[in-house]
């Protein structure tokens, strides 16, 4: 077999470290991006935040390499000087329901045994304020800790005392008991109090199913009188534990800002979400020499890494701005008239408009937010499927959900619209939607069925 040399030409996509870095930065949210930038600043001494001059603009010396003064916006400027005294942050008061109940117990006159029972009961109360453990289990647990045997009646008495703590109804074992405890605390001369107690204790199932005709017959009252009873019940709190404990607030930093200028919708990057970085001039000048020491090699490598990081950031911001602009251009009806004017749009539409791959559009629109006069929206919010209309047009599923919400908001509470009736009303507007689709959209909007939306008041 004779050996020979042959030339073969081929093309292939190579995932260089720089390309991997650009893709990684592209899919990061604003908060994740700021963390990534801070990590890069900590690890690379050649990379630094660019400082603004006295006039508020970045100074760039003539003849400098634009690589060394890169990026597109500032990372969030410090606020103006404050002439008053420095405010001291002293923390937040985030008292849990258990802490509030224990505080009331300690102010009450409990014997050591009753205090032990009370603590066991309080530990078994969930965040909504309901007792989640049977009294027999509490009795067994307390007897294991107490030197003297405790009777079941003692546990019931302590529970009754806790149920009259603030908030009223805490420690109840079901909704009926919770509402009953709150009604009992009302003055006896409150109109319809006694019938309301009867309703929540004996006919809670009818209340839940909104079978008002049967409920009125059971209570032997007219529809007007039943409306007054329901109005009193609706003033109660079925979840007495709400309002206690820490709540995690989610803050969103918009990536792009949408404004209307000269009758045109414009898109720009949020200056508080994009950083302005540069290569350290002092270190970069050391690379101009011809010395090939280890220190010089290290500086050159860090300089190149800093430049690639800045270039990846620029690419991210350019791509984000291009995609956001294409979305706004296609969804101008939404910004002018609201959700009902939303057009159907998929990733392929924007990918074709900006000449990018759908996977890139998916990365750009994930966890990226747009601030507009109508609120803050994730970029993915503007994508929705399409449904056909009678006149040959297209309707967005988002627009149909908005119409559905509008129809339900305008319905009569005494005679709510059924899914079939909603389908007919949409058909009158030229939108052909199946009843099961209406039911799916209604559930997505957390709108209960018509039987549960019925009201007498």
For every residue of 114-165, DSSP letters joined together read HHHHHHHHHHTB-TTSBB-S-HHHHHHHHHHH-SS---HHHHHHHHHHHTTS
183 lies in a domain?
Answer: yes
Q: Encode burial over 317-330: b for 16+ CB neighbours within 10 A, e otherwise.
A: bebbbbbbbbbbeb
Question: Edge to edge, what strands does the sheet with 375-378 contain?
Answer: 264-269, 256-261, 369-372, 375-378
- Pair (263, 348) in one structural domain: yes
Ordered per-residue pLDDT tens for the chain, 457 residues: 677 777 777 666 556 677 777 778 888 888 888 888 888 888 888 888 876 544 444 443 444 444 343 333 333 333 333 344 444 444 444 678 888 999 999 888 888 889 999 999 999 999 899 999 999 999 888 888 887 888 889 999 999 999 999 889 999 999 999 999 999 998 888 899 999 999 999 999 988 888 888 999 999 999 889 989 999 998 999 999 887 765 555 677 899 999 999 889 999 998 887 778 888 777 767 666 556 677 778 888 888 888 888 888 888 889 999 999 999 999 998 999 888 888 888 889 999 999 988 888 988 888 899 999 998 999 999 988 777 665 656 677 888 888 888 888 888 887 888 888 888 888 888 788 888 888 888 888 888 888 777 776 5
- Pair (335, 263) in one structural domain: yes
Q: 422 preceded by cis ω (within 30°)?
A: no
- Pair (437, 395) in one structural domain: yes
- Pair (428, 320) in one structural domain: no
- Pair (351, 415) in one structural domain: no
Across-strand partners of 269?
A: 256
Closest CA to 68 of 234, 306, 301: 306
SS3 content of the chain, % helix, strand, coil (to 5): 50, 10, 40
153 lies in a domain?
Answer: yes
The total number of structural domains that make up the chain: 3
- Pair (115, 138) in one structural domain: yes
86 lies in a domain?
Answer: no
68 lies in a domain?
Answer: no
- Per-residue model confidence (pLDDT) at position 350: 92
- Pair (378, 252) in one structural domain: yes
- Per-residue model confidence (pLDDT) at position 442: 87
- Pair (229, 101) in one structural domain: yes
Structure token pair of residue 430 = 């030229």
- Per-residue model confidence (pLDDT) at position 15: 61
Mark out the alpha helices in 203-340 (DSSP H runs): 204-209, 212-219, 223-233, 281-286, 294-330, 332-337
Phi, psi of 272 (to 5 degrees): -85, -5
Domain span at residue 442? 386-453
Closest CA to 389 of 438, 440, 433: 433
Q: Looking only at Cα atoms, what is the longest distance across the chain?
A: 112
73 lies in a domain?
Answer: no
Which of 322, 352, 383 terminates a domain? The answer is 383
Q: Which residues contact 302 (CB under 8 A, 6 or more apart)?
A: 44, 45, 46, 47, 283
The structure tokens 């129809």 sit at 407
Which of 383, 398, 431 terminates a domain? The answer is 383
Phi, psi of 283 (to 5 degrees): -70, -40
Which of 383, 400, 415 terminates a domain? The answer is 383
Instruction: Give the CATH number, domain containing residue 424.
Output: 1.10.10.60
- Pair (435, 343) in one structural domain: no
- C-alpha–C-alpha distance, residues 92 and 246, integer Å: 9
- Pair (272, 352) in one structural domain: yes
- C-alpha–C-alpha distance, residues 350 and 356, integer Å: 8
Q: Which residues contact 255 (CB under 8 A, 6 or more apart)?
A: 30, 269, 270, 273, 274, 320, 324, 368, 369, 370
364 lies in a domain?
Answer: yes
- The CB density around residue 345, as the number of other CB atoms within 10 Å, is 20
Please check whether residue 110 is in contact with residue 224, taking contact to mean a CB–CB distance below 8 angstroms.
no
- C-alpha–C-alpha distance, residues 199 and 207, integer Å: 8
361 lies in a domain?
Answer: yes
Work out the angle at residue 317's Cα, subtended by the Cα atoms of residues 59 and 79, and round it to the nearest 5 degrees: 55
3 lies in a domain?
Answer: no
- Pair (152, 181) in one structural domain: yes
Q: Which residues contact 265 (CB under 8 A, 6 or more apart)?
A: 258, 259, 328, 329, 332, 335
- Pair (107, 229) in one structural domain: yes
Please check whether residue 119 is in contact with residue 106, taking contact to mean a CB–CB distance below 8 angstroms.
no
Convert 343-364 into a string of H (helix), E (strand) and C (coil).
Answer: CCECHHHHHHHHCCCHHHHHHH
């Amino acid at each position: 077999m004779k050996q020979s040399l042959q030339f073969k030409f081929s093309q292939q996509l190579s995932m260089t470290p720089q390309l991997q870095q650009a893709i990684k930065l592209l899919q990061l949210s604003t908060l994740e991006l700021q963390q990534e930038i801070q990590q890069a600043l900590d690890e690379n001494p050649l990379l630094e935040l660019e400082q603004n001059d006295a006039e508020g603009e970045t100074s760039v010396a003539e003849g400098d390499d634009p690589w060394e003064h890169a990026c597109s916006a500032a990372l969030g400027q410090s606020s103006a000087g404050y002439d008053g005294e420095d405010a001291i942050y002293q923390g937040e008061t985030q008292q849990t329901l258990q802490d509030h109940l224990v505080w009331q117990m300690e102010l009450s006159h409990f014997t050591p045994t009753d205090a032990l029972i009370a603590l066991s009961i309080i530990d078994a109360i969930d965040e909504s304020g309901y007792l989640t453990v049977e009294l027999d289990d509490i009795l067994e647990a307390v007897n294991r800790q107490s030197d003297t045997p405790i009777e079941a009646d003692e546990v019931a008495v302590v529970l009754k005392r806790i149920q009259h703590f603030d908030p009223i109804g805490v420690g109840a074992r079901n909704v009926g008991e919770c509402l009953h405890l709150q009604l009992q605390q009302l003055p006896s001369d409150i109109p319809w109090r006694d019938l309301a107690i009867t309703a929540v204790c004996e006919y809670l199932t009818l209340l839940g199913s909104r079978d008002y005709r049967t409920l009125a017959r059971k209570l032997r009252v007219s529809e007007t009188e039943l409306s007054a009873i329901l109005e009193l019940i609706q003033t109660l709190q079925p979840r007495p534990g709400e309002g206690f404990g820490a709540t995690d607030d989610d803050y969103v930093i918009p990536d792009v800002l949408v404004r209307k200028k000269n009758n045109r919708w414009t898109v720009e990057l949020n200056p508080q979400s994009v950083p302005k970085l540069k290569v350290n001039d002092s270190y970069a000048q050391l690379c101009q020499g011809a010395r090939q020491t280890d220190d010089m090699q290290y500086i050159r490598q860090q300089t190149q890494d800093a430049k690639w990081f800045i270039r990846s950031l620029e690419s991210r911001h350019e791509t984000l701005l291009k995609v956001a602009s294409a979305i706004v251009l296609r969804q101008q009806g939404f910004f002018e008239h609201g959700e009902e004017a939303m057009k159907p749009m998929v990733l392929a539409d924007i990918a074709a408009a900006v000449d990018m791959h759908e996977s890139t559009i998916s990365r750009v629109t994930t966890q990226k937010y747009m601030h507009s006069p109508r609120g803050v929206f994730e970029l993915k919010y503007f994508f929705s499927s399409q449904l056909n209309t009678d006149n040959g047009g297209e309707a967005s599923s988002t627009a149909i959900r908005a119409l559905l919400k509008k129809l339900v908001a305008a319905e009569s509470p005494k005679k709510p619209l059924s899914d079939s009736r909603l389908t007919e009303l949409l058909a009158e507007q030229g939108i052909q939607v199946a009843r099961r689709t209406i039911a799916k959209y209604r559930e997505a909007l957390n709108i209960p069925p018509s039987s549960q939306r019925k009201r007498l008041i």
